[in-house]
Amino acid sequence: MNDVFSPVRLGALALRNRIVMAPMTRDRAGPHDEPTDLMVEYYRQRASAGLIVTEGTQPSPAGKGYWRTPGIHSAEQVAGWRKVAEAVHAEGGLLSMQLMHVGRASVRANKAPDADTVAPSAIPCPDPIPGPDGVPVPTQMPRALATDEIPGVIAEYVAAARNAREAGMDAVELHCASGYLPMQFLSSNSNQRTDAYGGSVKNRIRFVVEALEALAGAISADRVGLRICPGVPFNGMADADPAETYAELLRAVDHLGLAYCHLIHIPNKGFDSLELVRANWSGPVIENCGLTLDKAQDVIAQEQAEAVSFGFAYIANPDLVERFRTGAPLAKGDRDTFYTGHGDDARGYTDYPPAC
């Protein structure tokens, strides 16, 4: 019987264990949104995970929403990520870069002065976003993308994926959750378009389907994953029927042979999202959200998912796999240092010691 310590294959990725480090924004990038040497050490420390999914990384200046998040659209950023990949690979680890275009979920102060803020429709994100000083401020009104602009946004994702592979990343993950651009297209309340990308479920999933098809064509489908969270209200999401939307989406991309579906498994009224994924998706699944080691072992043993991901636990436990394996207690993270916004601030970032 398999457990979290057994190997598994997700597409082209041969994981040495089934424990995945979930993507977590930490606001430690450099002044040009480049990965710093401190970020190299942060990821190196956690390389015993079967797979590390990086923090959300913007594919373009317009895709940035938060202060000091890294990008993958400049030579300097590619060079920084190459150092990360080399450090993780030297420890025997694997990396999937999460491509995160936030769309309307941004504030002007966090972005380059000439960076646009775009969305499916000119509807602002109702949730405030932290500015450079960490204080949440109201978001701005986004500009609705014209139909003929959408291929260009997808091309930015493709260029970012190619850059990620050039930097040594083993795969990419399209962030389709948390109320960011792909989810803004999926959700009926944030997508009020009347063209081929809005209205019916088939039209609202079109952007994500085309983006995944383009990514698969650019770097191979078995090196592309997607992350979803049906029904999450974060950043103003309120789809009329998330079960229908995500079932349609999963069926539409299932034939591509993608590496995995990374599910944030939250409670939903009327449906269970893990059951929904399993009914409409034949590929590997990574389950995330609120897992303990015991729960994760049950998920794997019962073949509900091929792998499990942990976020919060990885902040204070860089050696999480070893702690799980030996039964060592887990350290607690310092919430005051989760997001410092300083690229050279090791506090609560790389200064958590291993268990032994």
Domain boundaries, the chain: 8-337
> What DSSP assignment string belongs to 323-335?
HHHHTPPPPPP-G
- State the pLDDT at residue 226: 98
Alpha-carbon distance of 270 to 64, in angstroms, equals 34
- State the pLDDT at residue 355: 87
Mind listing the pLDDT tens digit for each residue in 130-152?
999 999 999 999 999 999 999 99
Assigned architecture for domain 8-337: Alpha-Beta Barrel (3.20)
Contact 306, 18 (CB under 8 A): yes
43, 66, 157, 180: the catalytic one is 180
- Average pLDDT score, the chain: 97
Query: To which residue do tokens 């109201």 refer?
Result: 138
Please give the average per-residue pLDDT across 322-338, as a whole number.
95
- State the pLDDT at residue 104: 98
- Assess whether pLDDT exceeds 90 at residue 340: no
φ, ψ of residue 11 to 5 degrees: the values are 60, -125
- State the pLDDT at residue 342: 83
Annotated catalytic residue 314: no
Q: Tell me if residue 9 falls in helix, strand or coil.
A: strand
- State the pLDDT at residue 29: 96
Contact 36, 28 (CB under 8 A): yes
CA 211-264-67 angle, 5° bins: 70
Alpha-carbon distance of 121 to 21, in angstroms, equals 33
Alpha-carbon distance of 111 to 184, in angstroms, equals 20
Mind listing the pLDDT tens digit for each residue in 97-141?
999 999 999 999 999 999 999 999 999 999 999 999 999 999 999
Mind listing the pLDDT tens digit for each residue in 196-248?
999 999 999 999 999 999 999 999 999 999 999 999 999 999 999 999 999 99
Looking at the whole model, is its pTM more than 0.95? yes
- β-bridge pairing 51-53 and 95-99: parallel
Query: To which residue do tokens 């042979």 refer?
Result: 257
